[in-house]
């Protein structure tokens, strides 16, 4: 049986209760990693109470909770990470209202003495963040990033050197490393994001903010579902679940002109990209609704006729199937009787077993050597 994750984080003779979000009783993954510990060891005794701190990409709030006594601005692209941080602050008797909260497209308009960054998985997201960070620096700002060694790549170091200044890294400790950058290139510069490409086959211009998956081309899973899109369905309400840039929902808007279309994602950048794509392709209307949240938590039960889903199998740097399973369970609740969930996924993930367990049925719509499109219907 897998070992359950510890929830008590001990540091400098103090301890905090830290949990991942959404909380799972039998979770095997901790809410912090060795990169968090190494970064805290470096800065916790050096930050003064009169100094300002910007924390970026703090996965579940471990950095924020541990450093809550300081003047913190907290920035993240993820709704789930934000809710985790808020919950961990509350669980450790900290006032979340003392924090300044920001998302990836709403950066603070002040400069900081300390900038603490957990390196994101996406190179594009890091590039966008460093462009935006420039206006938050002064000549004496201290910029420190942390990552597990396997996730700290040479291209990340080159980005810091190009956009921020002289950069060096620490020795590895518990398979984690720190990156130190000097605030040398602090003149304001515009981020090159969102990026744009054309999908002529569907008469769509596609715009992607930096944190959205598959920046400059159509990802092959979405392409496969677009090629095998539902037909002959008299759907009145369609949901693009985990919408990313919203292409599945926008294709539905083209093919089902009378249907209401809802877009759900936990990424601020994803929802902003989906809205931008609806506007730029002249598909924006009162029929479209964009929801930033945790899967389908904000959806009404028994309300949808069709749900389209290209589920993630990562949460930050960790591979996990729990998000997909949550999406499937909530899809069953959200669908009307007779409604259908269409899922495109890598074949090896074996989602047909989960759909069979939840819906009592599944059907393979189409498959190739890499992907499979599965359909499940709510019959009860």
DSSP 299: S
Contact 209, 269 (CB under 8 A): yes
Do 114 and 258 belong to one domain? no
Cα–Cα distance for residue pair 195/207, rounded to 1 Å: 6
Residue linked to tokens 């304001």: 188
Q: How far is CA 318 from CA 26, 147, 196, 329, in A?
A: 16, 13, 29, 21
Cα–Cα distance for residue pair 175/77, rounded to 1 Å: 26
Average pLDDT of the chain is: 94
Q: Which of the pair, 184 or 24, is modelled with greater confidence?
A: 184
Residue 28 counted as domain residue: yes
List 309's β-bridge partners, or say none: 241, 343
Last residue of a domain, one of 182, 204, 238: 182
CATH number for the domain spanning 361: value is 3.40.50.150
pLDDT, tens only, 238-279: 999 999 999 999 999 999 999 999 999 999 999 999 999 999
Cα–Cα distance for residue pair 293/194, rounded to 1 Å: 22
37: left (phi over 0), alpha (psi -120 to 50) or beta: alpha
Q: And the tokens for 232?
A: 């002959």
Do 29 and 173 belong to one domain? yes
pLDDT, tens only, 75-103: 999 999 999 999 999 999 999 999 999 99
Last residue of a domain, one of 153, 182, 211: 182
Cα–Cα distance for residue pair 36/23, rounded to 1 Å: 20
Residue 172 counted as domain residue: yes
Domain that holds residue 32: 8-182
Q: How far is CA 274 from CA 57, 68, 141, 249, in A?
A: 22, 34, 35, 9
Contact 210, 127 (CB under 8 A): yes
Is it the case that residue 5 has pLDDT exceeding 90?
no
Calculate mean pLDDT across residues 25-44.
91
pLDDT, tens only, 107-162: 999 999 999 999 999 999 999 999 999 999 999 999 999 999 999 999 999 999 99
Q: How far is CA 236 from CA 123, 138, 239, 240, 296, in A?
A: 39, 53, 10, 14, 18
Last residue of a domain, one of 182, 208, 239: 182
Cα–Cα distance for residue pair 27/47, rounded to 1 Å: 33
pLDDT, tens only, 192-219: 999 999 999 999 999 999 999 877 789 9
Residue linked to tokens 């877009």: 263
Do 144 and 203 belong to one domain? no
pTM for the full predicted model: 0.93
**ω into 194 cis (within 30 of 0):** yes
Helices (H) and strands (E) in the chain, counts: 10, 20
């Amino acid at each position: 049986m897998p070992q359950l994750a510890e929830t008590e984080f001990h540091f400098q003779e103090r301890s905090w209760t830290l949990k991942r979000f959404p909380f799972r009783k039998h979770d095997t993954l901790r809410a912090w990693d060795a990169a968090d510990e190494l970064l805290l060891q470096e800065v916790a005794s050096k930050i003064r109470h009169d100094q300002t701190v910007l924390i970026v990409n703090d996965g579940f709030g471990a950095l924020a909770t541990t450093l809550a006594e300081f003047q913190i601005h907290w920035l993240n692209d993820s709704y789930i990470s934000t809710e985790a941080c808020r919950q961990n602050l509350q669980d450790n008797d900290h006032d979340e209202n003392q924090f300044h909260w920001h998302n990836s497209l709403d950066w603070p308009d002040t400069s900081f003495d300390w900038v603490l960054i957990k390196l994101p998985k996406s190179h594009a997201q890091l590039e966008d963040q460093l462009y935006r960070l420039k206006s938050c620096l002064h000549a004496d700002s201290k910029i420190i990033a942390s990552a597990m060694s396997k996730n700290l790549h040479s291209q990340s170091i080159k980005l810091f050197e190009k956009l921020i200044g002289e950069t060096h890294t620490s020795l590895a400790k518990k398979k984690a490393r720190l990156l130190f950058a000097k605030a040398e290139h602090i003149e304001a510069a515009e981020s090159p994001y969102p990026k744009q490409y054309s999908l002529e086959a569907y008469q769509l211009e596609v715009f992607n903010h930096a944190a959205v998956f598959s920046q400059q081309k159509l990802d092959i899973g979405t392409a496969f579902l677009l090629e095998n899109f539902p037909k002959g369905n008299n759907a009145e309400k369609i949901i693009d679940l985990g919408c990313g840039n919203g292409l599945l929902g926008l294709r539905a808007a083209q093919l089902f002109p009378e249907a209401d279309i809802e877009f759900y994602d936990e990424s601020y950048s994803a929802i902003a990209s989906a809205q931008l794509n609806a506007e730029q392709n002249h598909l924006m209307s009162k029929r479209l609704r964009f929801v930033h949240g945790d899967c389908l938590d904000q959806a009404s039960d028994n309300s949808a006729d069709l749900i389209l889903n290209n589920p993630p199998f990562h949460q930050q740097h960790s591979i996990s199937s729990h998000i997909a399973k949550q999406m499937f369970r909530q899809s069953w609740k959200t669908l009307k009787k007779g409604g259908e969930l269409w899922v495109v996924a890598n074949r090896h993930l074996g989602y047909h077993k989960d759909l069979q367990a939840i819906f009592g049925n599944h059907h393979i719509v189409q498959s190739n050597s890499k992907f499979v499109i599965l359909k499940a219907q709510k019959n009860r």
